Structure 1
Amino acid sequence: MRNIVVCACVALGVVAGPVFADEEGPWSGKIGLGYLAATGNVDNEALNAEAGVNWDGQRWHHGLSGKAIGRTESKKTTAESYKLAYDAKFDMTDRTYLFGLIDYNKDRFSSYTQQIFEVAGVGHRLIMTEKHKLNVELGGGLTQNDLADGSSQDEGTARASGDYTWQISENASFMQKLAVNWSSSNTYTESVTGLRAGIIGNVGLAVSYTVKNNSSVV
């Protein structure tokens, strides 16, 4: 089998974000939490949490984010994954920038139990309007993978990604992120689709859908 979706999840929760933001300062952040429970013949629980912090200077931009997802069915764990990512950008012009990132993924129930990517490259802001923003990036680097059968892969990787945001209204926004990492042994694809609506102040309701795919399955 060449294609399999190893993680598909829907997260629904009340989020507070940005948790802190100074209009005259470079710092901003957000926290999100979602929980879903269903009881009956089978008891199901799903929990997801995410947090992020950003620092934006005149030319330098830094971002650190983390996410955890868990699910149980009849008190048996059926999903458990973690993600931690750091990225840095340096503006060459208003639209073009250099970037570097470290992307750590751990999934207890995937054929790839751990995947780490270190990538550097160039990005370009294709669309920069009040309502629409689209960034694309292309780069290369290294990847280290641990597989469920106990083997490992350490090899070079190429990466292409896109990040689109649509500010629908003052209190509602849509986002779509897509990243593809190619290596000689595997192609890893991650897609994140999200919709956020403000409720009051910095508190809002967020719905997101994440799909992860590894082309090589053990």
Structure 2
Amino acid sequence: MKQLFLATAMAAVSCGVCAADEAIAPSGNVEFGFSSTTGNSEVTTVKGKAEYTHWLGQFENRYLLEALYTEDEDQVSKERYYGEAQTNNRFSETSYLFGFLSNDIDKFSGYRYVATVAAGYGHRLYQGDKMYLDGELGPGYSYKRVDTAQAPDSGNESSVIARANLDFWWAFSDNAEFRQKLSSDVSLSGNATISKAESSVTANLVGALAMKFAFNIKHTTKPVDDKESLDTETSMTLLYKF
């Protein structure tokens, strides 16, 4: 079954490389945040994120890369690298089939990495003048490789999952927008379910430059070893749109 999910999603993602001569102009954004304190406490945090979207015929291809690094009193307290790719075969104005791949490397989660592949159906649930809501649902497969240094008594996890995703966007003024993303990889094999949420407000500054305020939540139902179930992150970054 794992091979079936992997082959389906890989086929959907790879289809996006067909018909390159029909490509529409790509778009994306890059954001970067940095903070450093010295004196009684010395903390340095660096965050970077890049998103890129391009069209090949009726295929909409999206890519995301993200990194977070925090050093507290010369000790690394957070280090995370995340990447995902998704292709949407939009066969109508409101409906599409998607293929999704991701890899999450969070060095303080108890896992060395969490790899996910999924495929399914997406639909635009609501479309307004300055607002939309997209929903996605489909089967998939997740493999969680345990970090034995952090959790020596835990084993690797292979799970058939149901992936659910909601994406809400609202331009509530001419210069600002709100975005709410919700996703959950629900384990159907009795292992950990990982859910994520990001709430963000982006305000234009000048030209293509904007300021982004974001609050992220990550919840794991069955964390390994003695790890916390809930991780949160509040960030403020500069964002460049292209």
Q: For residues 166-202 of structure 1, what are the alpha-carbon distances to aligned partners after superposition, in whole Å with 9 as ceiling and x for unaligned?
A: 1112221110100011112111101111111111100
Q: Report what 2:172 is aligned to.
A: 168
Give the Cα separation in 1 of the matches to 2:56 and 2:174: 24
Q: Report what 2:9 is aligned to.
A: none
Tell me which of the two structures has the higher relative contact order, counting C-alpha pairs closer than 8 angstroms and 6 or more residues apart: 1
60-69 or 104-113: bigger deviation: 104-113
The answer as to whether partners of 1:71 and 1:77 remain within 8 angstroms in 2 is: yes
The alignment's C-alpha RMSD in Å is 1.4
Question: Deviation at 1:58?
Answer: 5.1
Higher strand share: 1
SS at match of 1:26: strand
Opposite residue 138 of structure 2, the aligned amino acid is G
Give the Cα separation in 2 of the matches to 1:51 and 1:124: 25
Structure 1 residues 1-218: aligned runs within 5 Å:
25-57=24-56, 59-148=58-147, 149=151, 151-183=155-187, 184=189, 185-218=191-224
Count of residues in correspondence between the two structures: 195
Give the Cα separation in 2 of the matches to 1:35 and 1:43: 14
Q: Normalization by structure 1: what TM-score?
A: 0.85
Higher helix share: 2
Give the Cα separation in 2 of the matches to 1:171 and 1:56: 26
Question: Deviation at 1:108?
Answer: 0.4
Give the Cα separation in 2 of the matches to 1:25 and 1:159: 29
Give the Cα separation in 1 of the matches to 2:82 and 2:57: 28
Question: Deviation at 1:103?
Answer: 1.3
Give the Cα separation in 2 of the matches to 1:133 and 1:199: 24
206-215 or 147-156: bigger deviation: 147-156
Q: Normalization by structure 2: what TM-score?
A: 0.77
The answer as to whether partners of 1:26 and 1:57 remain within 8 angstroms in 2 is: no
